[in-house]
């Protein structure tokens, strides 16, 4: 055996075994794993095969595939890319076909709520020295809103053409009250007491909520002055606006967004004193 592997006879050995290992390499390149046959190979045998093939200058990629095959793996001739192709974008640079997070969708409630002056009570006469006189109403139309909208304050325009202004003005909606009713004093400092033309803020102790898909009416009721007799003038409660929007805001019940309603401006229906 020593003579067979002697220095002078090594080329003969290479000629004899090279076809075998070339066949192994070719089979490995086109290999379909068969665990029953490969299970018998030991680590020493695998290393012997790899060393001999390497000595004959076998291509590195092919050598790696032979090793994978001998170890009961699957050879790979094509590298697998881990890069992902970015989604296409539209003309504005936004991804096409990528869902937009709900939090990034602008709420539509603010553009869907409209406030206007109600035709009732109609312009006419009001009694003097009377409490809770219904002097104005405002329609909050949320028929196109996507959520309920809550108001902690409201602001309306008072036009003063009276010698003796009404006082103790508060917000109602039918039997519901939204400002604390006075109990001890005749003059309630928390209510509104207009003294000239301008916007007046009604601070509510109970939020005024307009449900989505509905309309709701806010009423102003005041106490008329005992001295406001016939010929002492008139007044009105209306709605002012800034760039088409009301001068007060609400809050979306779901989005928690600040919502400024659209406003239909009007001086309101004129109320005249007549005793």
- 51 and 139: one domain? no
Whether 57 and 143 map to the same domain: the answer is no
What are the two backbone dihedrals, phi and then psi, of residue 260, each rounded to the nearest 5 degrees?
A: -105, 115
- Report if residue 87 sits inside a domain: no
Let me know whether 265 and 147 are in one domain: yes
**Same domain as 146, residue 34:** no
Contact indicator for 252, 201 with CB cutoff of 8 Å: no
SS3 letters for 36-67?
A: HHHCCCCHHHHHHHHHHHHHCCCCHHHHHHHH
What does the pLDDT average to over 190-195?
96
The confidence score (pLDDT) of residue 185 equals 65
Q: Residue 30: what pLDDT?
A: 52
pLDDT over threshold 50, residue 2? no
What is the C-alpha to C-alpha distance for residues 223 and 51, in angstroms, rounded to an integer?
Answer: 108
* Residue 49, pLDDT score: 78
Claim to verify: residue 134 and residue 245 sit in the same structural domain: yes
Verify that 249 and 136 share a domain, yes or no.
yes
The average confidence (pLDDT) of the chain is 80
Can you give the pLDDT at residue 90? Answer: 67
Residues 13 and 144 in one domain: no
Look at residue 271 in the predicted model and tell me its pLDDT.
98
Mean pLDDT for the stretch of residues 111-134: 94
Work out the angle between the directed axes of helices 43-55 and 10-29 (0-180°, nearest 10). 110
pLDDT tens readout for residues 44-77:
877 877 787 777 777 788 778 777 777 765 444 4
Split into its structural domains, the chain has a count of 2
Domain shared by 132 and 44, yes or no:
no
| Whole-number pLDDT of residue 97 | 58
User: Helix and strand tally (H, E) in the chain?
Assistant: 5, 13
Q: Which of 22, 39, 70 is the last residue of a domain?
A: 70
Report whether pLDDT(222) > 70: yes
CA distance 135 to 166: 10
Residue 45 domain boundaries: 7-70
Bridge partners of residue 271, in order along the sequence: 124, 235
CATH number at residue 207: 2.60.40
Residue that terminates a domain, selected from 49, 70, 91: 70
Q: Which residue has the higher pLDDT, 183 or 217?
A: 217
> Which of 45, 70, 95 is the last residue before a domain boundary?
70
Q: Sign of the CA dihedral 128, 131, 134, 138? A: positive
Global confidence as pTM: 0.61
């Amino acid at each position: 055996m020593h003579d067979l592997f002697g220095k002078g006879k090594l080329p003969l050995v290479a000629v004899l075994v090279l076809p075998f290992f070339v066949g192994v390499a070719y089979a490995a390149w086109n290999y379909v794993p068969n665990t029953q046959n490969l299970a018998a190979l030991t680590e020493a045998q695998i290393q012997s095969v790899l060393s001999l093939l390497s000595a004959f200058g076998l291509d590195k990629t092919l050598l790696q595939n032979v090793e994978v095959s001998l170890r009961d793996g699957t050879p790979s001739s094509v590298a697998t890319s881990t890069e992902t192709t970015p989604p296409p974008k539209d003309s504005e640079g936004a991804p096409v076909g990528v869902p937009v997070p709900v939090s990034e969708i602008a709420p539509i409630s603010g553009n869907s709520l409209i406030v206007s002056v109600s035709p009732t009570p109609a312009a006419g006469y009001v009694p003097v020295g009377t409490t809770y006189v219904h002097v104005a109403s405002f329609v909050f139309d949320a028929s196109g809103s996507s959520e309920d909208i809550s108001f902690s304050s409201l602001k309306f325009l008072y036009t003063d053409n009276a010698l003796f202004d009404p006082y103790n003005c508060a917000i109602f909606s039918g039997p519901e009250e939204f400002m604390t009713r006075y109990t001890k004093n005749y003059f309630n400092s928390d209510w509104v007491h207009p003294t000239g033309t301008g916007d007046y803020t009604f601070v509510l102790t109970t939020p005024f909520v307009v449900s989505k898909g509905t309309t709701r009416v806010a009423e102003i009721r005041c106490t008329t002055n005992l001295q406001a007799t016939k010929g002492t003038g008139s007044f009105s409660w209306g709605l002012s606006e800034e760039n088409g929007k009301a001068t007060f805001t609400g809050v979306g019940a779901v989005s928690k967004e600040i919502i400024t309603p659209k406003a239909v401006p009007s001086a309101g229906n004129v109320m005249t004193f007549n005793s």
